[in-house]
Amino acid sequence: MKILVPVKRVVDYNVKVRVKPDQTGVDLANVKMSMNPFCEIAVEEAIRLKEKGAAEEIVVVSIGPAQAQETIRTALAMGADRGIHITTDDAVESLGVAKLLAKVVEEESPELVILGKQAIDGDVNATGQMLAALLGWPQATFASEVEKTDDGYNVTREIDGGLQTIKVSSPAIITTDLRLNEPRYASLPNIMKAKRKPIDAKTPADFGVDIAPRLEALKVAEPAKREAGVKVESVAELVDKLKNEAGVI
């Protein structure tokens, strides 16, 4: 079985981004970029399935600028087998990403695609579900446990009320939640080895799909600032303030 894992290059989760003064976007100059943490979890899950003998090949794909190649290399160093880099400098929306991925699935015929549940830059949480719909496949989103069965997967999902377990037939889409696994660090020998693993270079035009954006960002603004508060000296003072000043208890 072949597993496809789409990985996205995003602002590192430790960075607190700043809005540009002209409100056209956020300032990404000289900001640390990394693989989206949910994509790392997706790569790790694919590797574990392979280690258990449930998969033979892991292909990672990233849509993004030239530097997205580093993100692919990171996945290869973790243990993926080869990469596909669809190069573009444009911000591709989830719908466009899903359309490109649907074409990649057509060419590669994986039986499983594992994506992150959301990218921590756009926080859209849509690509996996859109890809599932375009392919007519079942989906198991927000996975915290994946078990391979004879004809598909039993997946435990993190939902608002607790946990839900569903069964999906193969081929399927899975999107990862935080507690699915703890991604490994790539070892130095594996980082060296990854340099020799193949990455196929493509462009969106190769796939003939329309990825023009549908949404227009009119303005990117700072969120409302909170007024600085006070430090209280004691628990008694805290209760007094909550009761008599804020009136919330």
Partner 1 sequence: MTVLVIAEHDNASLNDATRAVITAAKGIGGDIHVLVGGEDCGPVIEIVKGLDGVTKVLHAESPALKNRLAEAMETLVLSIADGYDAILAAASTTGKNFMPRIAAKLDVMQISDITAVESADTFVRPIYAGNAMMTVKSNDAKKVITVRPTTFEKAGDGGSASVETIDAPAPAAASEFVSEELSKSDRPDLGSAKIVISGGRGMGNGENFAIIEKVADRLGAAVGASRAAVDAGFVPNDYQVGQTGKVVAPELYIAVGISGAIQHLAGMKDSKVIVAINKDEEAPIFSVADYGLVADLFTAVPEFEAELEKAGV
Kindly identify the residues of this chain, within the stretch 184-213, that bind partner 1 according to CB under 8 A.
Answer: 213
Q: Residues near 63 by Cβ (< 8 Å), separated by ≥ 6?
A: 6, 8, 86, 88, 92, 97, 100, 204
Q: Which does 137 bind (CB under 5 to 8 A by kind): ligand FAD, partner 1, none?
A: partner 1
CB of 195 to ligand FAD, least distance (A): 21
CA distances (Å), 5 to each of 21, 74, 112, 235, in order? 36, 13, 9, 51
Distance CA 96, CA 94 (A): 5
Extract the tokens encoding 44: 């790790």
Nearer to partner 1, 15 or 199 (CB): 15
Stretch of residues binding ligand FAD (CB under 6 A), selected from 112-120, 134-142, 158-166, 238-246: 112-120
In this chain, which of 3, 59, 80, 92 binds ligand FAD, going by CB under 6 A? Answer: 92
Count CA atoms within 13 Å of residue 12 on its CB side.
Answer: 8
N-to-C CA span, the chain: 58
Examine residue 163 and tell whether it contacts partner 1 (CB under 8 A).
Answer: yes
Amino acid residing at 73? R
Examine residue 242 and tell whether it contacts ligand FAD (CB under 6 A).
Answer: no
Q: Which does 91 bind (CB under 5 to 8 A by kind): partner 1, ligand FAD, none?
A: ligand FAD
Examine residue 159 and tell whether it contacts ligand FAD (CB under 6 A).
Answer: no
Binding mask 6-45 for ligand FAD (x = CB under 6 A): xxx----x-----------xx---------xxxx--x---
Examine residue 64 and tell whether it contacts partner 1 (CB under 8 A).
Answer: no
Examine residue 31 and tell whether it contacts partner 1 (CB under 8 A).
Answer: no
At 12 the three-state DSSP class reads coil
Distance CA 37, CA 96 (A): 21
Q: What is the dihedral of CA 180, 100, 89, 75, to 10 degrees?
A: 30
Applying the rule CB under 8 A, the residues between 93 and 152 that interact with partner 1 are 93-95, 98, 117-118, 120-134, 136-142, 144, 152
Q: What is the dihedral of CA 87, 93, 71, 143, to 10 degrees?
A: -140
CB of 191 to partner 1, least distance (A): 27
Nearer to ligand FAD, 29 or 188 (CB): 29
For binding to ligand FAD (CB under 6 A), which residues are involved?
Answer: 6-8, 13, 25-26, 36-39, 42, 61-64, 91-94, 97, 115-116, 118-122, 124-128, 213, 215-217, 220
